[in-house]
């Protein structure tokens, strides 16, 4: 919700530039001002506000799991989002960092990871397999 409010505010400020400068017959400056406000609003959102809104105020953000991988977990470290995915073909876990503006992206690979939730219906080497035997009396 806050994300939509932010963009409504940015568009309102941009259109007001056009409206007030257009009334003074300065359309060229009005369109330039509108473009500058929209550009600054987009840069500010992408490089600062997006993850702040999502983490602190319930904003909107979408991330896709890479093809062939399974999502395991997500966590916040300060204002950066860390996503853990598992690749069953290579038996590797990947931790990917999504920082503000995607400028500082960290990536950690764990080989032979064997997560407990590797795949539906399969058991990892460290997970106990349930026994079908009845207990002795």
Residues 51 and 13 reside in one and the same domain: yes
Edge-first strand listing for the sheet containing 92-98:
70-77, 80-87, 92-98, 107-111
Angle at Cα 86 formed by Cα 83 and Cα 87, nearest 5°?
A: 135
Same domain assignment for residues 8 and 53: yes
Say if 51 falls within a structural domain.
Answer: yes
Identify the domain containing residue 32 by its residue range. Answer: 2-57
Instruction: Tell me the two tokens of residue 43.
Output: 């840069």
Residue 83 domain flag: yes
The CB density around residue 2, as the number of other CB atoms within 10 Å, is 15
Quick: pLDDT tens for 77-90. 877 788 889 988 88
User: Could you read off the pLDDT of 91-134 as tens digits, one per residue?
Assistant: 889 888 877 666 667 788 888 887 765 455 554 444 444 444 55
Q: Is 125 a member of any domain?
A: no
Q: Is residue 86 part of a domain?
A: yes
CA distances from 127 to 46, 65, 116, 133, 135 (A): 41, 25, 6, 18, 20
Q: Note whether 12 and 44 are same-domain residues.
A: yes
Number of domain units in the chain: 2
Looking at residue 19, what DSSP letter applies? H
Q: Domain check: are 74 and 104 in the same one?
A: yes
The answer to whether residue 63 is domain-embedded is: no
- pLDDT, tens digit (0-9, with 9 covering 90-100), for 1-41: 788 889 999 999 999 988 888 777 888 888 888 999 999 99
């Amino acid at each position: 919700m806050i994300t939509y409010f932010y963009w409504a505010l940015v568009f309102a400020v941009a259109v007001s530039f056009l409206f007030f400068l257009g009334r003074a017959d300065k359309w060229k400056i009005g369109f330039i001002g509108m473009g500058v406000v929209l550009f600054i609003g987009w840069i500010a959102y992408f490089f600062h506000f997006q993850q702040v809104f999502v983490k602190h105020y319930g904003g909107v953000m979408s991330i896709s799991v890479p093809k062939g991988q399974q999502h395991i977990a997500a966590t916040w470290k300060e204002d950066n989002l860390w996503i853990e995915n598992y690749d069953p073909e290579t038996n590797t876990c990947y931790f990917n960092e999504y920082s503000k503006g995607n400028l500082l992206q960290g990536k950690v690979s764990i080989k032979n990871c064997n997560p407990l939730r590797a795949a539906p219906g399969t058991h990892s080497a460290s997970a106990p397999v349930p026994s079908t035997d009845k207990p002795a009396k």
